[in-house]
Amino acid sequence: MPAAQPPQSAAREAVERLYRAFSTKDVALLRQAVTPDWEYLPEPPGQQPGPDQMIPIFEDLTTALPDMRIEILDMLVQDDRVGIRAEVSGTQSGPLLGIAATKKPIRFAIHSFHELRDGLVSKTWHLEDWLSVFRQLDAVPPRVNPPV
């Protein structure tokens, strides 16, 4: 029997909580937003499903983009799925993907789809526009291996 579908408002709230956790780089808040077996696809190299896979990424982002902000531009809810179009902005104040700090402001698009289970995000498919980041920084990392 399929799981009950969350109301649209509950689905929106769950996904907004996820993005607040990313914006503030707060693993405790992330644990409240996702299931213990949350899948983040593609998964970061060497990580297992679950919110703790983001700890090293949040640590890197705290240094690279300490003022990072995520603005949700569009949110579409259909049953247990939520589509997001968002923009990330911040100042590259520390190393990012092997690129030394430039102090340049950056903005880039992210597109994600989320699947919910029991009012929590259970799966996230994500895509970030890293090419626009490299263009804004006028640099390409020595080895392109995005953190997420």
**Cα–Cα distance measured from residue 64 to residue 2, given in angstroms and rounded to the nearest whole number:** 41
- Tokens coding 148: 């997420």
Which residue, among 102, 104, 99, 105, has the nearest Cα to 147 in the 3D structure? 99
Side-chain half-sphere CA neighbours of 100 within 13 A = 0
Better-scored residue on pLDDT, 74 or 52: 74
The pair phi, psi for residue 32, each rounded to 5°, is -80, -15
This prediction's pTM: 0.84
- Tokens coding 43: 């998964």
Is the bond into 42 cis (omega within 30 degrees of 0)? yes
**Cα–Cα distance measured from residue 55 to residue 136, given in angstroms and rounded to the nearest whole number:** 26
At 75-113, the pLDDT tens digits run 999 999 999 999 999 999 999 888 999 999 999 999 999
- Tokens coding 119: 């009012």
At 3-60, the pLDDT tens digits run 555 578 888 999 999 999 989 888 899 999 999 999 998 887 777 888 888 888 888 8
Token pair 């994500």 is found at: 126
Better-scored residue on pLDDT, 146 or 19: 19
**Cα–Cα distance measured from residue 79 to residue 71, given in angstroms and rounded to the nearest whole number:** 23
**Domains located in the chain, CATH noted:** 8-137 (3.10.450.50)
